[in-house]
Structure 1
Amino acid sequence: MVAAQLSARELFRAAYENRYTWDANFPGYRANVTYSDGNQSWQGAVEVSADLKPSISGIEEPEVVKLIHGQLFEVAIHRVRRGFEDTHGKNEFEFGNSDNDGTVEILVNGKSAGDRYKVRDNEVVLVHRHIHGVVVTINTFSTHKSAEGYLSHRYDSVYHDPTTGEQKGDRSEFEDEYITVGGYQLLSARTIRSDSGTISFRFSDLELLS
């Protein structure tokens, strides 16, 4: 069993470093966007700069702009390449439970005590983190493979109050699609389903900034 050969820190670090990220030469990109809430759709243009700042043009509705900006920002944040020690150097790790399918739970002590993860096949398949005054739990059900690492394909997320455990908002189910542009993986579509309905973001004519 892999967990028996590696320490909890080594196992988690390997999966962490297997995530797909953009390198320091990432130039940013532009694309056309179509956002739909099931009843209406809006079309515009987006740009994510080399320093990963999104901007949206061609759409007047502030709430729609905010939604698109939020998704682009969330994607960009997950593409930032941060060293394991920079992110987790002050944490300690120990094994939790193991499942028959090879999933291994990693419990965190130290700076981020109370957080936990699950690792399977060198991928992080569960994230349970305290962040910005809430607890977010993300289960990953399938991934996209690339030579530079994996990206989440189908996953969900739910937020809870860290003190009471009360759920905050809907559980959301995500499905992401990526295409390769100039050697970089860029989001081409995201669908989000929840009790509130289904929304989708479609990105076309993606091209890197010069």
Structure 2
Amino acid sequence: MMMRKLKRFLLGWSVSLLLAIASFSWLAPVQAGPMPIDDQGQPKTQLSARDIFRDAYEQRYTWNEKFPGYQAEVSLKYDGQLYHGLAQVSPDFQVTVKNMDDPDVSQLVKNQLQMEIIHRRQIAFGDRHDQDTYALAGTDKDGAFEIQETGDNGESRYKVRDKKIVQVNRTLGSMAVTVDSLEFITPAGGYLTEHFQTTFRDPKGKEVLLTQDVTDSHEKIGNYYLLTNRTIRSSDPKQPEQLNEADTLIRFNNIQPLRRA
């Protein structure tokens, strides 16, 4: 029972981390390979860390001001049980989930849609990150820029390679989280991650507590790309064989745009 509750809690966090951060891509051109070092041992580049992150933020795929909202039928398989219901995202980004037998499962679906909305909304960089500070920490062996962000919510670390944010690191209370982005699509006007892995660790002992492998599908419905399918494989390091079988499958069927008032 405790593992089931833990997975439900972590499920929302893993999705929120990737969808809110790892979709900040389409960066301005950056130098590949090891970064030159100045006399003080700091990385040299013509772009600042803030420039790199801001360009990424401003060029991600988002829904514009004409977004009408939509409704969909939901099919969810969780821990071997199948659930059905209805979901709606309003033009002002409110989420409603109905007709599911288990309120916890309804909340799980609602969390997925809310996390999808977080990075689809158009919010100016200055409104969200103006007070944050950024620093280039170097490059890794593959030439990825390592960027450190400091703000009101603490510190985050990113890796940026080939115009993509490929890794996110954060500490959330008693949990350290790493998100690795693995596969992407590039629809006109933006960029979407469709395969990522999330690792949850004890920030003190660095012990791996849980890993999740997530595969998404997005389809263009009307004028907007919408999440149609999510597959999540959760694995306890003490039982690594669990990763071979998906424990959470979410499908949004019969998606219909709403009519704006």
TM bin (shorter chain):
0.7 to 0.9
Please report how far the alpha carbon of residue 140 of structure 1 lies from its aligned counterpart in structure 2 after TM superposition. 0.7
Residues 29 and 209 of structure 1 are in contact (CA less than 8 Å); yes or no, is this contact kept in structure 2? yes
Q: Which moved more, 1:117-126 or 1:137-146?
A: 117-126
- Deviation per CA, 1:78-112, whole angstroms, max 9, x where unpaired? 21222212222112212123135442111124545
Distance 2:193 2:98 in 1: 27
Residues 144 and 153 of structure 1 are in contact (CA less than 8 Å); yes or no, is this contact kept in structure 2? yes
Aligned partner (choices 153, 166, 176) of residue 216 of structure 2? 176
Distance change >3 Å, CA 130–CA 24, structure 1 → 2: farther
Secondary structure of 1:70 counterpart: helix
Normalised by the length of structure 2, the TM-score is 0.72
The aligned residue for residue 256 of structure 2 is: 207
Q: Which moved more, 1:21-30 or 1:128-137?
A: 128-137
Distance 2:207 2:88 in 1: 34
Residues 91-106 of structure 1: pairs in structure 2 closer than 5 A: 91-106=132-147
Larger helix proportion of the pair: 2
Distance change >3 Å, CA 137–CA 82, structure 1 → 2: farther
Q: Which moved more, 1:28-37 or 1:73-82?
A: 73-82
Residues 197 and 211 of structure 2 are in contact (CA less than 8 Å); yes or no, is this contact kept in structure 1? yes
Please report how far the alpha carbon of residue 168 of structure 1 lies from its aligned counterpart in structure 2 after TM superposition. 7.8
Aligned partner (choices 164, 167, 182) of residue 126 of structure 1? 167
Q: Unpaired segments of 5 or more residues in structure 1?
A: none
Secondary structure of 1:86 counterpart: helix
Please report how far the alpha carbon of residue 200 of structure 1 lies from its aligned counterpart in structure 2 after TM superposition. 0.6
Please report how far the alpha carbon of residue 154 of structure 1 lies from its aligned counterpart in structure 2 after TM superposition. 0.6
Residues 13 and 84 of structure 1 are in contact (CA less than 8 Å); yes or no, is this contact kept in structure 2? yes
Identity of aligned residues (%): 35
Higher radius of gyration, 1 or 2? 2
Residues 201 and 210 of structure 2 are in contact (CA less than 8 Å); yes or no, is this contact kept in structure 1? no
Residues 43-192 of structure 1: pairs in structure 2 closer than 5 A: 43-109=84-150, 111=152, 113-131=154-172, 134-160=175-201, 164=204, 169-192=209-232
Normalised by the length of structure 1, the TM-score is 0.87
Please report how far the alpha carbon of residue 190 of structure 1 lies from its aligned counterpart in structure 2 after TM superposition. 0.3
Residues 18 and 123 of structure 1 are in contact (CA less than 8 Å); yes or no, is this contact kept in structure 2? no
Distance change >3 Å, CA 132–CA 99, structure 1 → 2: closer
Distance change >3 Å, CA 174–CA 89, structure 1 → 2: same
Distance 1:168 1:55 in 2: 34
Larger strand proportion of the pair: 1
Q: Which moved more, 1:108-117 or 1:12-21?
A: 108-117
The aligned residue for residue 2 of structure 1 is: 30
**Quick one: which amino acid aligns to residue 102 of structure 2?**
E
